[in-house]
Chain A
Amino acid sequence: MLVAMALMGVAVLLTAALLAMALQALRGASNFVYPICFMACSVLLGIAGSALLAGADPAPTLVLPIGLPWIGAHFRIDALSAFFLLVTNLGGAGASLFAIGYGRYETAPGRVLPFYPAFLAGMNLVVLADDAFAFLIAWEFMSLSSWALVMSHHMEAENRRAGYIYIVMASFGTLTLLLAFGLLAGSGGGYAFRDIRSVAAALPGLTLTLVLIGTGSKAGLVPLHVWLPLAHPAAPSHVSALMSGVMTKVAVYGFVRIVFDLMGPADWWWSILVITVAGVTCVLGVLSALMQHDLKRLLAYHTVENIGIIFIGLGLALAFSAHGMQAPAALALTAALFHVFNHCLFKSLLFFGAGAVLNATGERDMERLGGLIHNMPLTAFAFLTGCTAISALPPLNGFVSEWLTFQAILLSPALPSWALKLIVPAVGAMLALSAALAAACFVKAFGVTFLGRPRTPLAASAHETDRASLAAMLAFALLCLVSGILPGLFIDALAPVTQGLVGARMPAQTALPWLSIVPIGESRSSYNGLLVFLFILISTLLTIEVIHRFASREVRRAPAWDCGFPDPSPATQYTADSFAQPIRRVFGSVVFRATERVDMAAPGDARASRLTVTVRDLVWETFYAPLAGLVSLLAEWLNRLQFLTIRQYLSLVFVALIGLLLLVSIWP
């Protein structure tokens, strides 16, 4: 019943896509497409919430006679699907609400409106699918519709390049997933997830690597992340929010579904691969984000970091459960899944904010913004909430999930294997480093965009965004606060998911006094977001009261002091690049081979001095540039085959036939 309702919701979305295609020429098409999407996502959100809380056992399933004739299309909502369905549609509902306002300013609505509902439908289907065929079709549908959205502003060369790299990486990812499912199904060839679960994977290590590549390329694990910071910013902002906040989570779902549910227990050493890649992803993602001055690209790189945090949790869960430590595995998995939820909230919120800024000023480049807090106070407030949350600062939600991850790391000395004992603390240090760098990154993002003085007339004449967009941003800001101060409710809701996947759950949190959360036992560690929030609130109010009662309340406005040398030109402010300069010098000189060259004019010379900064993308240079070179070399070489005579083609066919016959005859 639930599954049928969910599929109806998806059908509504697909209908909306067809309708939008038919009516895209109409001026007000966005006025009904986005509200329909909003309502469909809200209904699906309700279905997901009720499925997660009710926890029906066995999970409701549905088989439709479409797809491959001997398989059909299986759909199922278990606890894991329900959770990710919730995340998907929470992000979807928020983005649709935002787009009700934002979509009106779209310059090419005909290129966005049909694909947007299709993209939402694709993501929902991935989460609902219960056989490999439906999963892959939905996965590819999701990739292609998001690719179309990335290409919606295809007149800019940068976007075309982004789209090209995205489609190559997406196809490659699907290919590896296809191979992984082939390995999982084995020679028996049952492609329904129920059949896959019942047979042990033939080559678990290879399968896990393939799955890590396939889902990691969609989620943005280093070194498969290259498309992400190009493609996410290229799309319209509400789609960027969906791609960063939701589609990467669907990729995480793919990983969790296959590795924890379908594959069966893997050997512990495969967790080393996951944890190491995740740690590197964290640090490289946040450092790359710090080097950016395009607001949306900064946010996209930051998604890479957060995916790293999520995969650290997943890797730890894998390591713990391989060693039969169920309670720590449940903790690590809960941390990862809670971060999935949190990241969906604040990254969507931040992309909405970036969209509002883009709308108000026409700029994504932070170096041309500044001082927006005066003209866009509510957007600034919501964006600041998102910045605080993503920087893992209490009492907001980002802190809680990172805190849980730290607690999981603290349990890992009990792991028996030596390699993990050495790698986990190093990854813990990387996580701590990336948390601190994230704070620096978002001081930069907020400080340069919203604070200071406007750097261009466009930034000075910005206006507050529309009501629907503001409603979406403020709602997500509120959710960030709620899930930060009442994390126990969310952790308890995740209990059936971890119970199903690793066979244990975190202790029941809502029964604890004052709604605090404890990962293992109260003597070990506890955190109470509600109390911390109340403490800060009360002491702030108390201070304001005391100060305003006993102290001077006078305020005088005067020109800025600036040590007596204020400069009226806004160009003398710190920019995004100059803010990041110390960090670029400390970390970037190693990670990006960053160099600075100062070309100073000689005294008396009227020529302008130049500061040249070079930052190299080593991942691109070491992995992709040689690969692209190899591919073009091969293509060049194979190109000769296009210009043969008919006799040569016939002999080629003959040789191929002989070769195949030989192969068949000697095959055991």
Chain B
Amino acid sequence: MAVIRDLAAQGVQMLLVLALAPLLLGFTRMVKARMLRRRGPPLLQPYRDLLRLIRKQAVIAENASWLFRSGPYMIFAATWVAAALVPTFATGLTFSWAADLIAITALIGSARFFLALVGMDIGTSFGGIGSSREMMFASLAEPAMIMIVFTVALIAGSTQLSSIAQFILTNASLRVSLGLALVALIIVAIAENGRIPVDNPATHLELTMVHEAMVLEYSGRHLAMIELAAATKLLLYVSLIACIFFPWGLAGPDGDFRAFIVGIVSYLIKLSVGGFLLVLFETSIAKMRVFRVPDFLGIALMLGLLGTLLRFVSGSF
């Protein structure tokens, strides 16, 4: 019985992240439009976009290889698995020990690796510029993320997200290093998801675009997969911040049905607050030049390193 409950909870988690990802995207777009005094698209527009894309015929460049056609599925699968491994409404799910935070970071890295490769497959200059810049951003964002993982892991004594959430829940106290890690993680999340000020998710035909440049050649179901993967990645980062820094409401490993309901409701609240804050930040800042981004990410790296150093020096920070 317990096994069925565990597996069901794991399945719910996998489907939940998939179902909520476009909703979070639609929510941020809606709030952003309202803040800009526009009406904006309805909340459920991303679902409609995905459905429309899936029904359409896929147009592929003449010299596309097998990697171009299989890439979107691999990218989506890696992102989905990574997102499903982050505790959303409950900790200690059956398979949560299969991968720790470092592995989740690396899974996102796998998705990015293949995204950058498919960007170069057709051999257009837009694809190349996108891949090149994405890897440049990643070369700073990924070490920053690892440093954040170090900081958090040294506080909680574990790299497992479930153990970290449990530790923060039971030993809640304000710490300098935790604050540094939070700021760094927000910067990394903004950069990784290509939000303003690093990249503009709503842009096309601009020399500064990064993510959109890589996926320029995609259409139809392939594009749908990539868009869904991007939405899932946004959800993943919001869940990650919620899980590490605001784990309140998470159901424990032996939680009952009621605890799960509480977990899901509090997760929805966290998502909407996270989405709202993201939009608030985006609307209040301008996009930066591409070679300013390394400085921005360098701040995250330095904050992460500082947090780790503080933890190495003394356990009280």
A residues sitting closer than 8 Å to B (CB atoms) are 370-371, 373-374, 377, 380, 384, 388, 391-394, 399, 403, 406-407, 409-410, 412-413, 421-422, 424-426, 428-429, 432-433, 435-437, 439-440, 442-444, 446-448, 451-453, 514, 516, 522-528, 531-532, 535-536, 539-540, 543-544, 547, 550-552, 554-563, 566-567, 570, 572-574, 578-583, 585-587
A contact residues around B141 at 8 Å (CB): 436
Are A579 and B301 within 8 A (Cβ)?
Answer: no
Residues of A close to B113: CB separation below 8 A:
388, 391, 393, 439, 442-443
Q: Please, which residue of chain A has its CB at the minimum distance from the CB of B228?
A: A543
Selected interface stretch from B32-40, B214-222, B262-270: B214-222
B binding-site residues for A, Cβ under 8 Å: 54-67, 73-74, 76-78, 80-81, 84, 95, 97-100, 102-103, 106-107, 109-110, 112-113, 116-117, 120-129, 131-133, 135-136, 138-143, 146-147, 150, 153-154, 157-160, 163, 204-205, 216-217, 220-221, 224-225, 290-291, 294, 301, 304-305, 308-309, 311-313, 315
Are A536 and B81 in contact (CB-based, < 8 A)?
A: yes
- By Cβ-Cβ distance, the 9 closest A-B pairs, closest first, are A574-B128, A452-B123, A447-B120, A432-B146, A436-B142, A432-B143, A440-B135, A582-B136, A453-B123
Whether B58 contacts A451 by the Cβ 8 Å rule is no
Among B59, B133, B154, B305, the residue within 8 A (CB) of A582 is B133
A556 touching B60 by the CB < 8 A rule? yes
Partner of A557 from B62, B74, B309 at Cβ < 8 Å: B62
A235 to chain B, nearest CB (A): 29
**Given A388-B113, A555-B60: A399 in contact with B312 (beta carbons within 8 A):** no
- The interface residues of chain B lying within 8 Å CB-to-CB of A587 are 139
Assess the A413–B78 pair: CB atoms within 8 A.
no
| Dominant secondary structure at the A interface | helix
CB <8 Å contact, A528 and B98 = yes
Bound complex: CA of A543 vs CA of B226, how far in Å?
A: 12
Residue of A nearest to B95 (CB): A531
Are B301 and A436 in contact, with the CB atoms below 8 A? no
Chain A hits for B84, CB < 8 A: 535
Instruction: State the CA gap A439–B163 with chains docked (Å).
Output: 29
Pair A572/B106 contact, Cβ less than 8 Å: no
Cβ–Cβ contact B294 & A524, under 8 A:
no
Q: List 20 A-B contacts (CB under 8 A).
A: A384-B67, A394-B106, A425-B312, A433-B143, A435-B142, A436-B139, A446-B117, A447-B128, A452-B123, A525-B100, A547-B225, A552-B56, A557-B62, A560-B62, A561-B61, A562-B216, A574-B129, A586-B136, A586-B140, A586-B294
Residue contact B124 to A566, C-beta cutoff 8 Å = yes
Contacts of B129 in A (CB 8 A): 574
Contact A516 B98 (CB under 8 A): yes
- Contact check, B78 vs A440: say whether CB atoms are below 8 A apart: no
Contact (Cβ within 8 A) A443 B117: yes
Which residues from chain B contact A540 at a C-beta distance below 8 Å? 73-74, 76-77
In Å, the complex CA distance between A630 and B225 comes to: 62
Contacting residue for B124 out of A391, A410, A424, A562, CB 8 A: A562
Q: Which of A392, A444, A527 contacts B98 (CB 8 A)?
A: A527
Tell me the smallest distance from the CB of A407 to a CB of chain B, in Å: 7
Once A410-B154, A558-B59 are accepted as A-B contacts, the answer to whether A394 and B99 lie under 8 Å apart by CB is yes
Instruction: Kindly list chain A residues whose C-beta atoms are within 8 Å of the C-beta of B135.
Output: 439-440, 443-444, 579, 583
- A574/B131 contact (C-beta < 8 A), A394-B99, A551-B54, A557-B62 known: yes
CA A346 to CA B100, docked complex, whole Å: 24
Set of chain A residues within 8 Å of B204, measured between Cβ atoms: 563
Docked complex Cα distance between A572 and B160 (Å):
46
Which residues does chain B contribute within 8 Å of A384, judged by CB atoms?
Answer: 67, 117
**Shortest Cβ distance from residue B51 to the other chain A in the assembled complex, whole angstroms:** 9
Contact A394 B66 (CB under 8 A): no
**Contacts of B80 on A, CB cut-off 8 Å?**
539, 543
Please state if B61 and A557 are interface contacts (CB–CB under 8 Å): yes
Q: Are A532 and B99 in contact (CB-based, < 8 A)?
A: yes
Closest to A530 in B: B98
Chain B residues with CB under 8 Å of A578's CB are 128, 132
Q: A422–B309 contact, CB under 8 A? A: yes
Docked Cα-Cα span, A424 to B305, in Å, equals 11
